[in-house]
Structure 1
Amino acid sequence: MRYFIVLLIVLSSCKSSPDKESESKTFIEIHNEAIVIDTHNDILMKTADLGIMLDQDLTGKTHSDLNRWKKGGLDVQIFSVYSDGGVENAFTLANRQMDSLDAAIARNPNKIIKVANSDMILKAINENKIAAMFGVEGGHMIEDDLNKLEALYKRGARYLTLTHNVAPSWATSAADETTNPNLPQKGLTDFGIQVVTKMNELGMMIDVSHSGDQTFWDVIKITNKPIIASHSSVYSLVPSRRNLKDDQIKAIATNGGVIMINFHPGFIDNSFGEKEMAFLEKYSIEGDSLMNSGMDEWYMMDYLYKKYTTEAELMRPPLSKLIDHIDYIVKLVGVDYVGLGSDFDGINLTPLQLDDVSTYPVITKALLEKGYNEKDIVKILGSNFLRVLKANEI
């Protein structure tokens, strides 16, 4: 049984009282005592696409399942509710994915529970349960309807990623703004401003991962609550359109928000893109055949990586690349504005050592070896996000 002083946990996200001998703790002790939060996992996409259940043993099939979350010391998972921006009936699909999590929770009430706020998170952890929330990835899923936005919030969505690559009608994505020079407008439309305002009123966090630069700056100007980037990394280290530039990182810090670092090799390792292109070119005939048979491009790539494991392993970046992105933000704006947004099960390959959700402790080990103290590690693992969640709550 874990005991808490609520105020202390909100400030420190530690499951036990501070230890005067914290310097001598092992990384496992620090990890187990911290509240570990991951703000972006795409397993619900796979439950819908593949007909799997997250309370099954999915080792070798996915990065995630219920028992491996527990093994990795994860306390809070925000489940991404995702569909491609061009899909029809996106709101219906969002609810179907939410249904799959609700069903898993109903089957495992002693292991996982859906929560609505920071107080419920602390209660769930005290009961040794994983606290679950939803994050809706893509504003297209509200179908230009504020009532549907509110309906998703009531079902447990605590953030909305304003855009995915294919953006809604009311906000431009990073993909839009970097590949389409003839956009009629950039950033938020009048309806987009209504969405941001409504989210502030609801207490629903605004997620700027995938947002175009103009959308980002429009949000910064409008919001009266701290924002998040649920799964992004650092542009100065890897100049991907999906990563955040220094002025954006500084703006999020000034806003009191938090940047949750994405584990995707293409966002943390400059050399990965070239390696991936060479791999896909080598197996292009096989890949094209799979796609011509009806397989989605993402699953085609996943299939090839699993089939040609030795080559795929050589493409995975070292864990230090991920730590570099955390360290960059800490040095730029301080330790209070960074966390973890893995993108597990939404990415095909992961950094070395981070094979799946059971391996979160290696991050704690790497941070400790980098020279971070326990207090700062606890912030990175979960405290920073809890602060932002609480600041958004009504």
Structure 2
Amino acid sequence: MRRMNKLGIAVDVSHSGDRTSLDTVRHSGKPVLITHAGARSVWPTRRMKPDEVIRAVAERGGVIGLEAAPHTTLSPGHPRHSLESVMDHFTYCVDLVGIDHVAFGPDTLFGDHVGLHDVFAAQLSIDGAPHERVPYVDGLENPAECFWNIIGWLVTRGYSDTEIAKAIGGNVMRVLEEVWI
């Protein structure tokens, strides 16, 4: 970690286990990122991060980017994967660690992301709670073209321009500037 910090390497624990994530945060002298995951308290799969990890990342200045790849950031209130289920993770994480430590990292490919998950399901730890299989996340079918749906959702829920700017890139830029300096 010392060498990575010295070289200005941004460290991402999205696909790391809980213990590795906590050890990484503890040993890093710079903020750590979770670039694409969600809250295990919202959707109980190993692919999501437990509150302990999300808090540890935030306490050291890091950010969690909320994923929107099919069959990941579901929620009991929205079990068919949609913008609403992704935003359930967003509101949970904002309540848990504050707007300064939450962002979006959709992690959706241009192509068959579901096919990729089918091939690597065991390694990705997205199995677990039963859910309806979908070819894409409703409202975020193609995040490169539909990201504005996230912004629209934030606007209609009363988030300020400053809060929206933080969540849609400002928080990640803050971390990267600290890591790269």
Deviations 1:198-243 (A, max 9, x none): 2111111111011111111211221000010111111000011111
Residue 71 of structure 2 contacts residue 81 of structure 2 at CA under 8 Å; is this kept in 1?
no
How much does 1:265 deviate?
3.3
Partner SS for 2:103? strand
The structure whose Rg is larger is 1
Could you tell me the percent identity over the aligned residues? 35
Aligned to 2:40: 235
How much does 1:353 deviate?
1.6
Aligned to 1:328: 92
The equivalent position to 1:373 in structure 2, one of 128, 139, 160, is: 160
Q: Does 1:351 align with 2:117?
A: no
Partner SS for 1:322? helix
Q: Does 1:217 align with 2:43?
A: no
Aligned to 2:120: none
How much does 1:266 deviate?
2.1
Aligned pairs for 1:153-232 within 5 A: 196-232=1-37
Aligned to 1:246: 51
Residue 82 of structure 2 contacts residue 140 of structure 2 at CA under 8 Å; is this kept in 1?
no
> Letter of the aligned partner of 2:154 in structure 1?
L
- Which blocks of at least 5 consecutive residues in structure 1 are unaligned? 1-195, 272-314
> Could you tell me how far apart the structure 1 residues matched to 2:161 and 2:50 are?
28
Aligned to 1:382: 169
Residue 265 of structure 1 contacts residue 316 of structure 1 at CA under 8 Å; is this kept in 2?
no
How much does 1:319 deviate?
1.2
Residue 230 of structure 1 contacts residue 261 of structure 1 at CA under 8 Å; is this kept in 2?
yes
Residue 75 of structure 2 contacts residue 88 of structure 2 at CA under 8 Å; is this kept in 1?
no
Deviations 1:288-342 (A, max 9, x none): xxxxxxxxxxxxxxxxxxxxxxxxxxx9523111111111111111100011111
Moved over 4 A (4+): none
> Could you tell me how far apart the structure 2 residues matched to 1:204 and 1:240 are?
28
Q: Which has the higher strand share?
A: 1
> Could you tell me how far apart the structure 1 residues matched to 2:106 and 2:18 are?
22
Partner SS for 2:71? helix
TM-score (normalised: structure 2): 0.81
> Could you tell me how far apart the structure 1 residues matched to 2:52 and 2:72 are?
18
> Could you tell me how far apart the structure 2 residues matched to 1:227 and 1:370 are?
28
TM-score (normalised: structure 1): 0.38
> Could you tell me how far apart the structure 1 residues matched to 2:101 and 2:30 are?
14
Partner SS for 1:361? helix
> Could you tell me how far apart the structure 1 residues matched to 2:97 and 2:154 are?
17
> Could you tell me how far apart the structure 2 residues matched to 1:368 and 1:350 are?
23
Residue 18 of structure 2 contacts residue 49 of structure 2 at CA under 8 Å; is this kept in 1?
no
> Could you tell me how far apart the structure 1 residues matched to 2:69 and 2:159 are?
23
More contact order relative to length (CA 8 Å, sep ≥ 6): 2
Aligned pairs for 1:1-394 within 5 A: 196-270=1-75, 317-345=81-109, 347-348=113-114, 349-356=135-142, 357-394=144-181
> Letter of the aligned partner of 2:102 in structure 1?
V
Instruction: Count the aligned residue pairs.
Output: 156
Residue 323 of structure 1 contacts residue 367 of structure 1 at CA under 8 Å; is this kept in 2?
no
> Could you tell me how far apart the structure 2 residues matched to 1:343 and 1:318 are?
14
> Letter of the aligned partner of 1:323 in structure 2?
M
How much does 1:270 deviate?
4.6
Residue 75 of structure 2 contacts residue 85 of structure 2 at CA under 8 Å; is this kept in 1?
no
> Letter of the aligned partner of 2:141 in structure 1?
D
